[in-house]
Amino acid sequence: MSDQAIKWRLRRVVGTALGCSMLAATTVSSIGATPANASLPRASSSVTNGGVATFAEQPGTTLNWILPLIPDNYALTNISQFEDIMWRPLYWLGTNTGAALWNSSLSLAYPPVFSDGDKVVTMKLKPYEWSNGKPVTSRDVEFWILLMKAAIKINPGYWGGYVKGYFPDNVVSVKTPNPSTVVLTLNKGYSSYWYWYNELSQITPIPQAAWDKTSATSPIGNYDLTPSGATAVYNYLSGQSKDLSTYTTNPLWKVVDGPWELTVFTTTSRLTFEPNPRYSGPVKPTLSKFIEEPFTSDAAEFDALEAGDLTYGYVPPTDVGAIGSLKSRGYNIEPWKVWAVNYTVINFDNPTVGKLFQQLYIRQAMQSLVDQPVYIKSALGGYGTPTYGVIPTDVPSSYISGNVTNPYPYDPAKAAQLLKEHGWKVVASGTDTCERAGTGPSDCGAGIAAGTPLSFKLMYASGFQYLNVEMQTFKTAMDEVGMQLSLSESPVNDVLGSAIPCAPSASDCNWQMLNWEFGYVLIPNYEPTGEQQYETGAASNFGSFDDPALNTVIRETNLPGGQTYMGDYAKLAAESLPDIFFPEADYQISAIKSNLKGALPQNPEEDFTPENWRFSG
């Protein structure tokens, strides 16, 4: 699954609209609409055209999947810092006002209209062009959907956003009555808001008239209209996307509808983009180019920032003391907050410790050893927000009120008490062992033999100084109550690559606990309803959490009237601890040269729109 994963963050400042359960049935245009000029840069008589802007990638970022049909390498960085720059999603969610609302200006379609008991969805496209001069049409939307269906049949695990029975499984038919209209018939009625924000949000139109081929020499056809043809087309395009050496020369990738074209690509993920002269969107690029610069560590990035080599960089949490100096040298400092949750994933199916993780009291003890306020102060320099469950709290939203509490505050004494109450001999600064094997309420639990030690292994992402501080602090707290924790560091991609749902007998099921630093960013499924993360068998249920009661309430949030179940879902998921929650660091503390205009405010979905950027005179 390699870099498949998971940097998804959902942000939302929706106000009362989210409290309404989904538009009784006709249109959802009144929910989350942003003004037509929401992404326009601030007017200034001093801005000039031209110039080169350099943007710093986060440590260890790997950009390695260009095809905007993203089953194989599903990472947020591949979406927000690569594909979305060149190919725009059908519905762009997230604004430069700090909200995860539908962005009318940047979306390729008008709001969907629901009918027939919310079983039929009709979408009208705006007049956009591909860079080859051909229009973006309904066939381009159908093409993406049919190829996605083919890709999932090949391997459901490819697509991090896939959950069996959901999109695209729940699409019975796709019709294109004219070049600007797409009509989906669904297998039943759904919450129209949820379907828009969590299902239709996944679609990125791709150029059928340029890519519907099965080999480099085959003519363009309508192969995607049959299952076997769609499979052949997907296999061809996927194979081309695996050839990183041709990203700037392959004619396929020259056909874009976004504002930028890729002109330089290196295997170290250094990218250069130049303007697409045929871009149809609301703001045309004026920079001559912009560059995405890779770094192996936050320390290396900060060296470049202090040297003045970056237009748009970031201050690592451990270097917040240098903010004053950076401001004096012409940088604006702005925390980039995102809608996300952060956690350490635990493997419920690990053959050694899976039975331990399956005991709620053990997870409760672990969570009671995470001192989130202290982590935020000491490791993050104050730039972070606690994670108390599955509803993000770092950006205000209507989900927060009444739904987000802290069921397991820091309490080492409580952790030790829980273990003693369930049959463990607690040895402070030693290793706890099971004394009362069995399944009774005061026993260790099913599958745990007498003498079993409480000993765990946690691998976390290297290159982040603050994360190292958090992990060492967590280890100290665990050790003090006899829960031995062995730590190891690995590159981000190695940690991500280990996050594979697995059967206990599988050879790749040896991982126990993982922390890849950035948690879970809900994108392109934006409403925090849990079907991606915690429903049994979901591709992004990395720890194989299995809770029938949680499955039921998740399904209820997706149906008409589903908003009324959000509180039940949030409470149950937080209390059941499918992961061990850690504070959510601000995505970054951005340092932006003061002569770069149009970069603020920052989009809480981690997307950015450099076509808005201009240098002041």
CATH of the domain at 199: 3.90.76.10
pLDDT band, very low/low/confident/very high, at 533 (cuts 50, 70, 90): confident
Asked if residue 102 lies in contact with residue 32, where contact means CB atoms within 8 angstroms, the answer is yes
- Which residue bears the tokens 């970056």? 310
Tell me which of 191, 218, 242 is where a domain ends: 242
Kindly state whether residue 160 falls inside one of the protein's structural domains: yes
- DSSP string spanning 501-562? ---TTSTT----EEE-SS-EE--S--S--STTTTSTT-TT-TT----HHHHHHHHHHHSTTG
Average pLDDT score over residue span 1-8: 33
Residue recorded with tokens 């056909």:
255
Q: Looking at the structure, tell me whether residues 111 and 235 fall in a common domain.
A: yes
Helices marked H in 242-379: 298-306, 323-328, 354-357, 360-367, 372-374
- The gap from C-alpha 284 to its chain's centroid, in whole angstroms, comes to 27
The answer on 223 and 345 residing in a single domain is no
**Assigned domain for 402 exists:** yes
Exposed e or buried b for every residue in 137-176, given b needs 16+ CB within 10 A? Answer: bbbbbbbbbbbbbbbbeeebbbbbbbbeebbbebbeebeb
29-31-34 Cα angle (round to 5):
85
On whether residue 127 sits in a domain, the answer given is yes
Q: Which two tokens stand for residue 405?
A: 């509490």
Q: Which residue type is seen at 473?
A: T
Query: Quick one: tokens of 599?
Result: 């970069």
CA pair distance 339, 528, nearest whole angstrom: 10
Structural domain includes residue 354: yes
Helix (H, G, I), strand (E, B) or coil at 264: strand
Q: How confident is the model at residue 176 (pLDDT cuts 50, 70, 90)?
A: very high
99 within domain boundaries = yes
Q: Supply the range of the domain harboring residue 405.
A: 341-585
pLDDT single digits (tens) 218-273: 999 999 999 999 999 999 999 999 999 999 999 999 999 999 999 999 999 999 99
Same domain, 416 and 537: yes
Domain endpoint, select from 226, 242, 258: 242
Do 346 and 492 belong to one domain? yes
**Whether residue 526 is found in the same domain as residue 382:** yes
Q: Are residues 390 and 523 in the same domain?
A: yes
Say yes or no: 487 and 360 in one domain.
Answer: yes
Tokens of 25: 């049935």
The domain that contains 480 carries what CATH number? Answer: 3.10.105.10
| Rounded mean pLDDT, 579-601 | 94
Residue 368 lies in a domain: yes
In a domain, 230, yes or no: yes
Of 242, 270, 305, at which residue does a domain stop?
242
- Give the model confidence (pLDDT) of 264-314 as tens digits: 999 999 999 999 999 999 999 999 999 999 999 999 999 999 999 999 999
Considering its fold, how many domains does the chain have in total?
Answer: 2
Domain assignment of residue 102, yes or no:
yes
Residue 253 one-letter amino acid? W
How many Cα atoms sit within 13 Å of 357 on the Cβ side?
24
Q: What's the CA gap between 153 and 139, in Å, rounded?
A: 21
- The confidence score (pLDDT) of residue 397 equals 67
Let me know how long the chain is: 617
pLDDT, one tens digit per residue, over 384-417 is 999 998 888 777 666 765 666 789 999 999 999 9
